[in-house]
Amino acid sequence: MSQYEEETFNEQESLQLITTMINKAKADFVETGISAIMWGSIISFCALVQFVSYFYPLSWARYVWLLTFLAVVPQIIISARERRRMKFKTYYSDAMSGIWLSFAITMFLLSFYVNTIQVPYIQLHAETLFLIVYGVPTFATGFTRRFTPMIIGGIACWVFAILAFYTAYPYTMLYYVAAAQLAWFIPGFILQRRYLKAKKQQHV
Amino acid sequence: MFKDLDPILHSQLRLAVMSLLISVKEAEFTFIKEKTNATAGNLSVQVQKLKEAGYIDVVKEFKDNYPNTTCKITKKGIKAFEEYVNTLQQYLNVKK
């Protein structure tokens, strides 16, 4: 017998039901965290390679950041899969997509600007610029979704942006590593654990 | 004098569906079924009643070659839900 066959219920139970259902909708985690883990790993790897190549020159190190362009392909596949798997849409789903798309376009334009402008890289404080931009969608996502790890990650990016301004290259690369870990890798890992836990509970 | 509770909403499953849909932009039938633990048959009947009342929109389409039903609360549905909650609060305040 279904639990909904009983139609007589009082006002208190009615209010309780509304609260329970709203909480159920809020507690449903659809994000697997894979994108965040992927980007956290790639940015950390690229920054570490650039840092190491300063002391031990690597011929391919200057091309390592091209990995970020290549990673757009798996990102599109992951996003499409997550979208297909999504059984509901929230009011801020579109807003989140807009924020991260703006971030991708800004990163592309900023990379173009930094590589084209005729100013020595060190004088440009490019790391500061990039770290400021890293912080924007990360903080916005954490704040909108009430996801503390990403709020902390976003703030960490901005703190590292200030520190990078006063730090000499190549040590600024280590801020990239720390920012990528705090802003994406660790929050992505937490999301992945929550997702797997929620998935497991659904199958119990 | 209190208003009567909306009979369309004052039903456990229909209220559960509306409470879910008020929290999201739109949701698939399978998601609602999963969250309410209702049977597909019972849920279909209640979703149809909500649709007939103009409280929700139901869109049937194909997703990955399978039929997929999506439900979305309407402006009329939001207004009815808000009124229902307000009336509920009035009842509860009097009983305090």
Q: What is the 3-state secondary structure (H, E, C) of chain A?
A: CCCCCCCCCCHHHHHHHHHHHHHHHHCCCCCCCHHHHHHHHHHHHHHHHHHHHHHCCCCCHHHCCHHHHHCHHHHHHHHHHHHHHCCEECCCHHHHHHHHHHHHHHHHHHHHHHHHCCCCHHHHCHHHHHHHHHHHHHHHHHHHCCCHHHHHHHHHHHHHHHHHHCCCCCCHHHHHHHHHHHHHHHHHHHHHHHHHHHHHHHCC
Question: Nearest C-alpha of chain A: how many angstroms from B31?
Answer: 6
Instruction: State which residues form the domain around B91.
Output: 12-95
pLDDT for residue B42: 94
Tokens of A64: 């390592």
Tokens of A23: 């909480």
Determine the residue of chain B that is closest to A17 in CA distance: B16
Task: Give bridge partners of residue B59 from the DSSP assignment.
Answer: B70
Note the pLDDT tens digit of each residue in A142-155: 998 889 999 999 99
Count of beta carbons in the 10 Å neighbourhood of residue A146: 9
pLDDT for residue B2: 61
pLDDT at A13 over 90: no
Q: Kindly list the residues from chain A whose CB atom is less than 8 angstroms away from the CB atom of residue B13.
A: 4
Contact status of A8 with chain B (Cβ, < 8 Å):
no
Note the pLDDT tens digit of each residue in B20-75: 999 888 999 999 998 999 999 999 999 999 999 999 999 998 877 888 899 999 99
CATH number at residue B86: 1.10.10.10
- Inspect the interface and report whether the beta carbons of B34 and A202 lie closer than 8 Å: yes
Residue B7 lies in a domain: no
- Report yes or no for ipTM above 0.95: no
Range from A19-23, A85-89, A104-108, A198-202 that averages highest in pLDDT: A104-108
- Inspect the interface and report whether the beta carbons of B36 and A21 lie closer than 8 Å: yes
Count of beta carbons in the 10 Å neighbourhood of residue A161: 22
Is the CB of residue A143 less than 8 Å from the CB of residue A151? yes
The mean-pLDDT minimum among A80-94, A105-119, B9-23, B27-41 falls in A80-94
pLDDT at A5 over 60: no
A1 band by pLDDT with thresholds 50, 70 and 90 = very low
Determine the residue of chain B that is closest to A2 in CA distance: B38
Q: Where is pLDDT greater, at B25 or B1?
A: B25
Q: What percent of chain A has pLDDT over 90?
A: 56
pLDDT for residue A51: 95
Q: Report the number of distinct structural domains present in chain B.
A: 1
Residue B6 lies in a domain: no
The domain segmentation of chain A, as residue ranges, is: 33-202
pLDDT for residue B69: 93
- Inspect the interface and report whether the beta carbons of B20 and A84 lie closer than 8 Å: no
Q: Kindly report the pTM of this predicted structure.
A: 0.77
- Inspect the interface and report whether the beta carbons of B25 and A89 lie closer than 8 Å: yes
- What gap in Å lies between CA A44 and CA A139, rounded to an integer? 19
Q: Which of A15, A21, A202 has the CB atom closest to B16's CB atom?
A: A21
pLDDT at A138 over 60: yes
Mean pLDDT value across residues A17-46? 86
Burial of B39 (0-12, 13-18, 19+ CB in 10 A): middle
Angle at A26 between CA A89 and CA B59, to 5 degrees: 30
